[in-house]
């Protein structure tokens, strides 16, 4: 039961962060692209890369892991929303925007997971290449 409370607490914080990122990402940009979802997914990819390394290095407790990964990052990243928005762009005939959303989210997402992990390894004084090993 306590684990569910940790997930709920992390989830509420992640959702608030997602909302804040969404507002910031749309500021001054045209509303013709899902900027907020893209920002949330890319930030989440960076965070999960770095925090995954730290969780392994410092043996995070199960409670802390579910708080961070299931709750916090789980509610921050929005893969289902990303998928729906990409599909809607395609259905609206905005093929380039839909394909760009898929490509940018996936390619930059993978890159940012690796960068986040590399940053964490660097901070730990570990060889950055260790993440790929």
pLDDT single digits (tens) 55-75: 999 999 999 999 999 999 999
Q: Residues at the annotated binding site?
A: 74, 77
What span, in angstroms and rounded, lies between the C-alpha atoms of 49 and 15?
Answer: 19
Whole-structure pTM value: 0.79
Residue carrying the six token digits 């921050």: 76
What span, in angstroms and rounded, lies between the C-alpha atoms of 13 and 7?
Answer: 10
**Segment 20-42 mean pLDDT:** 92
pLDDT at residue 80 in the model:
81
Query: In the structure encoding, which two tokens stand for residue 52, read together?
Result: 């995954």
Number of CB atoms found within 10 A of residue 102's CB: 16
| Signed CA dihedral, 117, 40, 80, 15: sign only | positive
- Contact by Cβ (8 Å): 22, 40: yes
The band of 101, judged by pLDDT with boundaries at 50, 70 and 90, is: very high
Residue 110 has pLDDT above 90, yes or no: yes
Query: In the structure encoding, which two tokens stand for residue 65, read together?
Result: 């892991």
State the helix-helix crossing angle for 79-91 and 35-57, rounded to 10 degrees: 150
**Segment 10-31 mean pLDDT:** 94
Q: Residues at the annotated binding site for Na(+)?
A: 74, 77
What span, in angstroms and rounded, lies between the C-alpha atoms of 121 and 42?
Answer: 19
SS3 69: helix
pLDDT at residue 132 in the model:
60
In angstroms, the Cα distances linking 19 to 53, 121, 125 are 26, 29, 34
pLDDT at residue 12 in the model:
98
- Contact by Cβ (8 Å): 60, 68: yes
């Amino acid at each position: 039961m306590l684990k569910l409370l940790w997930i709920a607490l992390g989830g509420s914080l992640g959702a608030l962060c997602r909302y804040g990122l969404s507002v910031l990402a749309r500021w001054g940009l045209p509303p013709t692209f899902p900027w907020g979802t893209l920002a949330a997914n890319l930030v989440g990819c960076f965070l999960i890369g770095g925090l995954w390394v730290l969780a392994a290095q410092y043996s995070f407790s199960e409670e802390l892991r579910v708080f961070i990964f299931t709750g916090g990052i789980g509610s921050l990243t929005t893969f289902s929303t990303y998928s729906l928005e990409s599909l809607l762009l395609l259905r609206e005939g905005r093929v380039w925007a839909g394909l760009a959303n898929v490509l940018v989210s996936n390619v930059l997402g993978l890159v940012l997971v690796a960068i986040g992990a590399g940053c964490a390894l660097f901070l730990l004084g570990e060889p950055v290449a260790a993440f790929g090993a």
